[in-house]
Chain A
């Protein structure tokens, strides 16, 4: 991507991501990466401007970072990870002398505040409460089921819990019985509890500049934490206008000026949309890779352009393609978790490798055979990538291979 404008001021990437670094490196604009100190030798070796920083210190230390970034003539900070969203908020507040940016960013870092804000703005949400102890969780589970007139403790309707400030599926647990509650670690409190929502789950990746949504991607989840594809199937895309409306409500409720929003929703067959949660960072689950594969632009670059208040409307119009119709096909992936305790063999069926939709996989037999215990949804061991024309075929592939045992 060649940028016509000559940029003199520096963009700071908060968080170490090679993909993001590679994307900005191709944009012909100065940048600095702020990341954990262990990356310094690598950054030095490769001539990457680098500020070593630990983001797990109190935000009050941000002045130190601000001073350092000023020396690099930084004009904007771009958050890469969940943990850096509030840092970007604070730094941009300082850089643009607008304290509200930081306060807004905090809304996105607290799942409970975020939900309230969305509720206030008129988005439809499930029933939710905050929990500070295990007792709170037990109480909520019981009361939810009472409300549903379900007295059968053995077959309670589930609830979900998520720590206030963790990204994606980290710490996300489904609770059905007392024992599930006992497994929650004390460090995960406080957390948000919410009712189980039925319906098709999906996420959106909205690229926003000057409060306007310039590009809206819809990612269809086949199974949360396991499989998804981009763009969504026609049956979900038919609700795009309604979905866009929800996104615009979010943008105004959270007063998002510049950057990306990555919310998750549920939609019922009659088109009722429930808000799940929202983040202002790069989505997981390989979604950016899918967007790049089908639309041909780098979403990382898109995010950087959107974060930069000085980007012009023309630049953005030239950068983003038309949604859905310009997609070259559907790009999807399956994240694979071992179903065994110890891995001795990979089992990748030839039919899979020979399927025209199969692109690649990145599974190897890990060096340590023992499989790490999963906490919440945990981390996947490998991914399989698909690309093809037909969303029905894509969905059935993802469903079929989700059942397969790739690790033996």
Chain B
């Protein structure tokens, strides 16, 4: 597929030339610039309360200027004056330290006035980066990396595809902006940013890789001579991993030709292909479609090479040898270029050794031919578009394999379904039987049955649920289960409404499983909605969970806890469900909480310098981690085992104070403290 890259490179090069005009002569002032300068000056003269009377004129002229590349340099010439004049006063763009790169692309793509403000904001950022404007709390380095990230996230605006129809004005402006920024910034730092972004996302090993592959595709456009070879290597590594990581695949013109080459390859060549695919897959978490072709081929002729193609561990090999027939059928039915990512799941599933669970083998076999409810067919139809002969059963098996292999790779996508995603993840780890019961009945009956305090609840009889439609970016198992789970969870919570205590106390045990400890505490009093007894909440958590205070009890199962999600400024965004996977000391002896975050964005910045990490502290795939006290400062509810508890009064007040300060100064601002 290198040819494709080359082709694109050659098509973008002349285009870039066309938009990269030489810089206009600075002293030639156009009538438009005169008008802009005067409008800016009028705005500057106005008192703060009257700024809004004059801002529109500035925006309007900026709009005109931004429609040409000469105009962009005029805007930059005045960008250092924007703040002083009050261009952004009293609006969302006022404080540049509060802006976030991921939102920029969206605003620029809006019609109307917001896209103009956004564009002016980038020009201000550029002035800070270039040092023509000194901002008191934003450094040039920060501004540069802000813009690099903006470019990295919006490469489609920098390298626009040829359009049949004329672009709308605001998109032309956005392209002019990006062309201008690109002249002023180095491609190298954008590429570096891109690598960081891809690293960050792949290290979590999500099941769904669409977004990552998009980024990798875009990054190909950046690769050119200006860029440091190390970064190019990194980008190429990713690009190869999703495409042709082996010599034979590299040589082949397409999937069909690759398959023919395999026929002629020697066994040594096949082993080497298998090992290279496996290596690339384990290094990046991404799978090449050719890997699927190889695996299908080996499945027919050389089953003995499969362990190398999957990089199986000792456990994995044992598991493979004991279940050769099952693995054969799984591959035959469900591993296709289109379901390539399930190869990673298959490898991890075997290495996990879960097939030792006797009930699992017939359960998987049952899926091969299970009749599928019409509604389920419709829901999964998105996955079968244009596939070469894969059945819906095959899609489901591939989905199940991914979930069993990567229980922490399950993500909620952009949907408000953290509870359900967390549930699937928990069952895939500790209650596979339950998971299969649910999957089977959902496929066959389009219904899930669960008991709540002895009464059965059937999802097909329920109407309410936040996420019964418009689910996007989910793996097949989630698409299958989430609508049911969401309804059942909502129904269970409804049944506890009048109990005067947080319903999660009962619902979580019934919903997730009996292994969840019966002790439960919520920091918000459900009657007064005030934060109540915060210090005992903190002390109890230390006494039940922190190894220095809890008499050495280890967690046996993950603990589903509720957290306050906060943004980079520590402001409350909402409630979120995560599960604590384990609590251990890291290599520096600091006690950390390792947790699963269904939003698959494990490195979110929660403000107050609380930044979850996904690597560097012994995190496993899919885990995020935070120092113990930082995590506690964001929690609002957890389960605990009252029989495995140290003495809460041993916990030092200084620790409690530290946690409480973090809490009060972030989400705590939105609550009354009793």
Contact = CB atoms under 8 A, between A and B. Distances in A.
A365 B112 contact: yes
A18 B61 CA distance: 22
Given A364-B112, A366-B112, A367-B114, A18 B48 contact: no
A18 B168 contact: no
B48 A362 contact: no
Contact of A18 (B52, B64, B112, B114): B52
B57 interface: yes
Interface in A174-221: none
Interface stretch (A19-27, A62-70, A103-111, A396-404): A19-27
A223 B53 CA distance: 26
Nearest to A345: B168
B49 A42 contact: yes
Nearest to B64: A353
Contacts of B59: 364
Given A22-B50, A365-B112, 6 more contacts: A22-B46, A22-B53, A46-B49, A362-B57, A364-B60, A365-B111
Contacts of A46: 47-49
Contacts of B50: 18, 21-22, 25
Interface string A35-63: 00000001100101000000000000000
Interface string B233-265: 000000000000000000000000000000000
Contacts of A139: none
Nearest to B32: A353
Contacts of B35: 360
- The secondary structure that dominates the A interface is mixed
Contacts of A19: 53
Nearest to B111: A365
Nearest to A353: B64
A21 B50 CA distance: 8
- The secondary structure that dominates the B interface is helix
Contacts of B84: none
B110 interface: yes
Nearest to A43: B49
A367 B169 contact: no
Interface in B26-58: 35, 46-50, 52-53, 56-57
A338 to B, nearest CB: 14
B424 to A, nearest CB: 38
Interface string B315-354: 0000000000000000000000000000000000000000
Contacts of A346: 169
Contacts of B60: 360-362, 364
B374 interface: no
B113 interface: yes
15 contacts: A18-B52, A18-B53, A22-B49, A25-B47, A42-B49, A43-B49, A48-B49, A344-B111, A345-B169, A346-B169, A360-B35, A360-B60, A361-B60, A364-B113, A366-B112
A65 B520 CA distance: 55
A384 to B, nearest CB: 11
Contact of B49 (A18, A344, A345, A353): A18
A19 B47 CA distance: 11
B110 A21 contact: no
Contact of A22 (B47, B61, B116): B47
Nearest to A359: B35
B32 to A, nearest CB: 9
B110 A367 contact: yes
Contacts of B114: 367
B57 A360 contact: yes
Contacts of A361: 60
Interface in A5-30: 18-19, 21-22, 25
A362 B113 CA distance: 10
B56 A367 contact: no
A111 to B, nearest CB: 31
A25 B50 CA distance: 10
A373 to B, nearest CB: 20
Nearest to B51: A18
Nearest to A25: B47
Contacts of A367: 110-114
Contacts of B53: 18-19, 22
Contacts of A18: 49-50, 52-53
B117 to A, nearest CB: 11
Contacts of A362: 56-57, 60
B93 to A, nearest CB: 16
Contacts of B47: 22, 25, 46
Nearest to B90: A42
A367 B114 CA distance: 9
Contacts of A366: 112
Contacts of B46: 22
A344 B166 CA distance: 14
Interface string A145-174: 000000000000000000000000000000
A260 B180 CA distance: 52
A365 B35 CA distance: 22
A21 B49 CA distance: 9
A239 B42 CA distance: 37
Most buried by B among A18, A21, A344, A361: A18
Contacts of B110: 367
Nearest to A48: B49
B31 to A, nearest CB: 9
Nearest to B168: A345
Nearest to B114: A367
A214 B170 CA distance: 49
Contacts of B49: 18, 21-22, 25, 42-43, 46, 48
A18 B63 CA distance: 24
Contacts of A21: 49-50
